[in-house]
Structure 1
Amino acid sequence: MQTVIAFILVFGSLVFFHELGHFIFAKRAGIMVREFAIGMGPKVFGMTKGETLYTIRLLPLGGYVRMAGDEMDTVDLQPGYRVGLILNRDNVAEKIYLNQKVQNPNVLFMEVERADLEKGLWVEGYDEDEQFVRINVSRTAKIVENGTETIIAPYDRQFNSKTVGQRSMAIFAGPLFNFILAFVVFAFIALMQGVPTFEPVIYDVKEGEPAAEAGMQAGDYVKAIDGKPIEDWQELSGTIQDKPGEELTLLVERNGQELELTMTPKVLNESGKEYGQIGVMYQSPVEKNPLKALVFGVTQTYDYTVLILSLLGDLITGQFTIDALSGPVGIYKATETVAKYGVYNLMNWAAVLSINLGIMNLLPLPALDGGRLLFFGIEALRGKPVDRQKEGMVHFVGIVLLMILMVVVTWNDIQRFFF
């Protein structure tokens, strides 16, 4: 149960912040957001606030922000439709009933001749007395069909009515918020636990190893090796590893006094490469400083971004195969392991996953945010949008291929962890 809760919290947070980015910048651009969904598939919970339906769905496979103007979003009143209109005091339609009987004496029934619910906002047709009427439609009018109410979306509230820049930002904001989430989590961890200083201070010394035999003690601060100043632990470790079997003189500070210790690193071999080791353990001292915590958040986000991009490059160049990838099952198992080591390790894992989600979504592949941004870039260069049907077909093919990839990766995870 602990693992399930941890997975839901981690996955839910990543999806929520990703979709929140889309949502905020869509609203900033004046785009009507029909639905803000966490998860996919059947609805488990739903709540309508304003013009947006907020839902939690059954399958933990992502989420979405459904913006007005999607292909499945438009409502066309075709000639011959029989509709019922409820008018306000100014004779402007506030509700339009479709495909249902309405027991309301104030409803104006008419047979539609023509209608424009996007730009002109009017309906023309013949009433029950066969008189031709033209009724203006409110910008916030609701279409009622089979008991379900949907607010109409005037063209200026639709996604495709906005500039390339506004549309691009609404799409880019999802991955952007994943990077922002990672930064906030890393900075919070550093604020709570302290920022590692990476000072070259010895945490512990193993008995019988070169460092112990030379007289090194826990708490020694290594200032130089063979006269070369040492700035941090990485430099100390790298210098020793690069000098296997060579006698070294370490200048250390102990209780305010400087001492010189001579030792020869053991020669170890890994994958045919020799490296040196003196038998010391390290645990970086920490410093609680809000400003440094913010800097730490930035550097950690940057470092993990570079690392993930490097691994992605290895995948593209074939240095490791698709079998190394993990899907929801693999992430669940990894979360199970990380959760055992405490909340801060779980938060760190969530931040890394958030960066990974942001990067994956920015790949210029169909159906991903990066694929849509690619089409916006082409539109900006051409001065006109790519044909919507062609773009839709490309994204559809992309969705199919991604689903196939998801099935393959999930099957690999199942075989890896359960067989």
Structure 2
Amino acid sequence: MSPQIIFQIVLLFFVLVTIHEWGHYYFAKRAGILVREFAIGFGPKLFSFKRGETRYTLRLLPVGGFVRMAGEDPEIVHVQQGQTVAVRLQDNVVTHLYLDQLDQRSEVVIGTVDKIDLEKDLQIRLFTGPEEEGTTETLRVHPQAMMVTRGKETQIAPWDRQFGSKTVGQRALSIFAGPFMNFILAFVLFVTVMFLAGMPTNVKIERVEPNSPAMKAGLMPGDIIKTVNNTAVGASTTKLTGMIGQSPDQSMNWIVLRGGKETNISVTPAKNDEGRILVGIGLSADKRNTSFGEAFSGGWDNMKLATQQILLGFKKLLFGQFTLDDLGGPVMMVEVTKQHASAGLAQYTFWAAVLSLYLGIFNLLPIPALDGSRLVFLGFEAVRGRPVDPNRESLVHFIGFAALMLLMIAVTYNDIVRLIRGEG
């Protein structure tokens, strides 16, 4: 596999996942939610940096990505009453809260927690000094204060910065935005394909097979086919092959443009050894530049057609009309992407559009751990007027994620077996 093909495969995965997660990230930030991490991939970190409040990471397993929002997981260690902590102050406001290695902290106040609220009141009441002579002091906590333990800093998340504090509409939008960005990208790519491929203007004979009906009739490479039996062929090769298939052993009157002049030729299709009705020609199409209107409408038509095919595939999956060989995992995706990338820029872009569309639709399925399932839970909350128990929802998503990972392992194993059989 050439370095260029490898780059195109990696680029495709990176763009599709990044645009999806960016949709979640952007609308979460607009809603005022603290986004702790923007990750591409799962598993161990390969590369990481922090900008502002968010840590951006590239992880080992290229099977997706995630945006970790404050309040979705209990990622902060809770401070208990009676616990000894150290705080760093700036203008009498707590900016850092240390939970361990207190004797190694400099320029801090050490005390015992009497009361603490890091979500609503943003206050901590500390008892400092000897047990009998100490004093109690209430300190205000900065809304972006850092909690430090085991060498790791975690920004606190006041209630108004947490996912659960936002309205159902704001949360639903931050979840739906991921698939929606994939739909936007797919449409842009389908339109781009129309510009790259151009608009066919007529059907042209690319080659003539030896001893074929076409050669016997006098057809030549370069002939532009205008009409067949007084019917304009236009730019549709499908239309022409359909007319040929309906005329076995029947003389057809073709008008072709050769050297700027129209020529009448009589052609009689015949069956080959496989029973197919042919005249023995290879076809191509002359093309012109695509207008914006044509690109827009053509891109939309291709997107609708691809959507129908994807939904048909999901229907077969739902009703069990498939085998394991009909499914493909990361290995098969790489193989198919390699084929499309090798076929040229237009074909590669078309495949990227289909994958982006597929990713958007797949994530909206009501399968636990996917965006569609999270939207279903928000729908329940909107109807009931109260949220589903977060622990139960988390358990459902965990089970769904584990099931998806097991399915991924199964189809990946099947992909590898299939490749080995193909090599053998």
Name the TM-score, length of structure 1 as normaliser. 0.89
Are 1:132 and 2:136 an aligned pair? yes
Give a deviation string over 1:238-273, Cα, whole Å, max 9, x none. 333344444433344445544443333233697xxx
Query: 2:324 touches 2:414 (CA, 8 Å); kept in 1?
Result: no
Are 1:84 and 2:93 an aligned pair? no
Query: 2:203 touches 2:233 (CA, 8 Å); kept in 1?
Result: yes
Query: 1:205 touches 1:281 (CA, 8 Å); kept in 2?
Result: yes
SS of match in other structure, 2:115:
strand
Query: 1:35 touches 1:53 (CA, 8 Å); kept in 2?
Result: yes
SS of match in other structure, 1:203:
strand
- CA 1:219–1:29 in structure 2 vs 1: closer, same or farther (change >3 Å)? farther
After superposition, where does 1:153-302 map in structure 2 within 5 Å?
153-191=157-195, 193-197=196-200, 199-233=202-236, 234-255=238-259, 257-267=261-271, 276-289=277-290, 291=292, 292-302=294-304
**Residue 398 of structure 2, aligned match among 393, 396, 399:** 396
Unaligned runs of 5+ in 1: none
Offset of residue 67 of structure 1? 0.9
Q: Which amino acid aligns with 1:282?
A: L
- CA 1:103–1:319 in structure 2 vs 1: closer, same or farther (change >3 Å)? closer
Query: 2:201 touches 2:288 (CA, 8 Å); kept in 1?
Result: no
Unaligned runs of 5+ in 2: none
Offset of residue 43 of structure 1? 1.0
Q: Which amino acid aligns with 2:215?
A: A
**Residue 418 of structure 1, aligned match among 412, 417, 420:** 420
2:116 — aligned with what? 115
Q: Distance in 2 between matches of 1:21 and 1:383?
A: 27
Q: Distance in 2 between matches of 1:145 and 1:231?
A: 72
Q: Distance in 1 between matches of 2:384 and 2:46?
A: 43
Deviation beyond 6 Å, 4+ runs, structure 1:
none
- CA 1:187–1:398 in structure 2 vs 1: closer, same or farther (change >3 Å)? same
Equivalent pairs counted in the alignment come to 414
Q: CA RMSD in A?
A: 2.6
Q: Distance in 2 between matches of 1:197 and 1:141?
A: 62
2:59 — aligned with what? 57
1:38 — aligned with what? 40
Query: 2:199 touches 2:290 (CA, 8 Å); kept in 1?
Result: no
Q: Distance in 2 between matches of 1:253 and 1:382?
A: 71
Identity of aligned residues (%): 43
- CA 1:223–1:77 in structure 2 vs 1: closer, same or farther (change >3 Å)? same
Q: Which amino acid aligns with 1:203?
A: E
Name the TM-score, length of structure 2 as normaliser. 0.88
Give a deviation string over 1:322-373, Cα, whole Å, max 9, x none. 2211111112223344444445544433333222222222221111112112
Offset of residue 402 of structure 1? 0.8
Q: Distance in 2 between matches of 1:123 and 1:376?
A: 34
Q: Distance in 2 between matches of 1:126 and 1:224?
A: 96
